[in-house]
């Protein structure tokens, strides 16, 4: 059975989504399908933005496995004509931005002083990261599409169906908001502000509307085309789906009702709404939704300071319908899970490979191996050896896995840099050694005797067996407490990877010296 045939039955969520796109393309007679992701540049791009592009790209790649004869495009669309509603908390020159509230983001000065506007700055940040990761996409600006006339035909279609759009949206609004709601938001020619005012169609054929200016009270007529107006976002979303003929777009669970309303508007415009996927939101360490304006949670740059991009892609792939906390402590686990999936891939059958996240992270071109040493082990090695550079770590790795080098295992070489950075910023500041109590000291003495009796090249499993035997002898009713004591006394932390594996990597002689120092309380000043 070919990979394509296997993918037809795969239960991996990306193939379930891709099959929906294939069915839509066949139904609508599409030779090329359009995938889209949306981005609001009202704040610095955050990791959730990357997640949407990464996940959509995975679905797109799965689509091409299922339908290799069809073409596709991925449009990353920036809603940069939206009015600035509030000043984000995590940017400089907030007072300056406050003077430009309600103006389109592309008309708001860049607080960083680097680009033409605030939107241009944030768009550039987004594109730079997507480019560095190698995503295949087309960037699109709302401002450019509105002002160039690219949306004109569909905007006229919205005006023709003005009442139908109103009938869809008004029942979802409170009484006061209903009085002023309109899908069209005129741009004030005097101030450049996006106006939220009631409008009335005057000349539908020529796209002319009338409204009362909120400041002067004057009755003003304007076109809805050429960038003189933009749409409220639910209508805007629907208009975009229609104008760009979008076939697939996913969205956060918090937008589920908006997706339904925009789909109804799309149908009112005579188009078929795209297929979609509702994913759960990312939360920060406190369980609060990550926000661009608050700047809470991890940034793209922060994750990539301490871990490779492959680990971030894995975090995005796994359980997208489950709300997950996104903060620094999740990084080591994500890295090691990525290594595990890579190591297992070659021994899997086709169905298992298509369910393996590494297939989707690498679009089928999965590396043969990632690393013979886990990230957690590297972190503990940095801790025990007080390493300040990767050459020290490679000295241990070379003894642990002869023949392993930066040239043969470039991913592991990258991990050594990440381990040093992560340890320096997150592990070292929180390390707290404690003294061994009387029973623990006896157990450590016993462990020393056993380990010194082993050959210097004993492997991790052999060492782990001795550690376990000591635990059974001294802590039969509390084995977990024994392993916790090892980490607290010897490494200044409450948990870690298998201690036998660590000892094999660190070296038996050095491990014995570490145990001796911990037993005698010499690590307390470390």
Binding-site annotation: residue ranges: 292
Tokens linked to 470: 């000591």
Angle between helices 499-506 and 460-474 (to 10 degrees): 130
Element (H, E) at 392: helix 390-400
> Residue 364: which region, alpha, beta or left (left: phi > 0; alpha: psi -120 to 50)?
left
Binding site for ATP, by residue number, is: 292
What CA–CA distance (Å, rounded) separates 314 from 174?
A: 42
Report DSSP letters for 188-235, one per residue: PTTT-PBP---EEEEETTTTEEEEE-TTT--EEEEESSTTSEEE-HHH
Tokens linked to 450: 């056993």
Q: Kindly tell me the burial class for residue 352, based on how many C-beta atoms sit within 10 Å of its own C-beta (0-12, 13-18, 19 or more).
A: middle
Q: Is 83 helix (H, G, I), strand (E, B) or coil?
A: strand
What CA–CA distance (Å, rounded) separates 246 from 241?
A: 5
CB atoms within 10 A of CB 285: 14
Tokens linked to 169: 């949206």
What CA–CA distance (Å, rounded) separates 135 from 46?
A: 16
> Residue 363: which region, alpha, beta or left (left: phi > 0; alpha: psi -120 to 50)?
left
Which one-letter DSSP state was computed for residue 307? S
């Amino acid at each position: 059975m070919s990979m394509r045939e296997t993918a037809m039955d795969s239960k991996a969520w990306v193939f379930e989504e891709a099959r929906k796109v294939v069915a839509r393309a066949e139904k609508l007679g599409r030779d090329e399908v359009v995938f889209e992701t949306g981005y609001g540049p009202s704040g610095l791009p955050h990791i959730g933005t990357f997640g949407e592009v990464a996940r959509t790209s995975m679905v797109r790649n799965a689509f091409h496995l299922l339908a290799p004869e069809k073409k596709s495009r991925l449009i990353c669309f920036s809603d940069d004509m939206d009015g600035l509603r509030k000043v984000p908390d995590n940017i400089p020159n907030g007072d300056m931005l406050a003077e430009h509230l309600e103006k389109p983001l592309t008309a708001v000065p860049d607080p960083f002083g680097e680009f033409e506007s605030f939107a241009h700055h944030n768009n550039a940040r987004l594109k730079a990261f997507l480019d560095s990761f190698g995503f295949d996409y087309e960037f699109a600006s709302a401002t450019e599409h509105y002002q160039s006339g690219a949306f004109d035909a569909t905007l006229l279609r919205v005006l023709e169906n003005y009442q139908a759009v109103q009938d869809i949206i008004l029942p979802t609004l409170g009484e006061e908001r209903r009085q002023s709601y309109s899908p069209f938001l005129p741009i004030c020619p005097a101030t450049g502000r996006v106006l939220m005012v009631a409008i009335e169609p005057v000349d539908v054929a020529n796209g002319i509307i009338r409204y009362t200016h909120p400041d002067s009270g004057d009755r003003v007529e304007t076109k809805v085309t050429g960038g003189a107006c933009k749409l409220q976002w639910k209508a805007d979303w629907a208009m975009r789906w229609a104008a760009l003929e979008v076939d697939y777009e996913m969205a956060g669970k918090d937008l589920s009702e908006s997706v339904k309303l925009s789909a109804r508007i799309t149908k009112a415009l005579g188009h078929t709404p795209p297929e979609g996927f509702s994913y759960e939101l990312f939360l920060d360490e406190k369980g609060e939704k990550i926000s661009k304006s608050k700047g809470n949670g991890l940034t793209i740059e922060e994750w990539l300071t301490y871990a490779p991009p492959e680990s971030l892609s894995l975090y995005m792939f796994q359980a997208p319908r489950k709300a997950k906390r996104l903060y620094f402590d999740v990084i080591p686990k994500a890295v090691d899970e990525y290594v595990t999936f890579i190591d297992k891939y070659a021994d899997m059958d086709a169905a298992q490979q298509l369910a393996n996240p590494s297939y989707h992270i690498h679009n089928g071109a999965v590396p043969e191996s990632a690393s013979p040493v886990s990230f957690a082990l590297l972190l503990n090695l940095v801790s025990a050896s007080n390493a300040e550079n990767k050459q020290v770590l490679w000295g241990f790795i070379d003894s642990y896995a002869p023949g392993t080098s930066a040239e043969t295992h470039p991913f592991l070489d990258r991990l050594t840099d990440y381990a040093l950075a992560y340890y320096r910023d997150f592990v070292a500041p929180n390390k707290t050694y404690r003294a061994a109590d009387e029973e623990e000291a006896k157990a450590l003495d016993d462990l020393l005797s056993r380990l010194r009796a082993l050959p210097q090249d004993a492997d991790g499993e052999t060492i782990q067996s001795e550690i376990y035997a000591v635990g059974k002898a001294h802590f039969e009713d509390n084995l977990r407490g024994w392993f916790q004591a090892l980490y607290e006394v010897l490494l200044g932390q409450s948990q870690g990877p298998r201690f036998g594996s660590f000892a094999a990597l660190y070296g038996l002689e050095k491990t014995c010296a570490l145990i001796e120092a911990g037993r005698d309380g010499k690590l307390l000043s470390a």
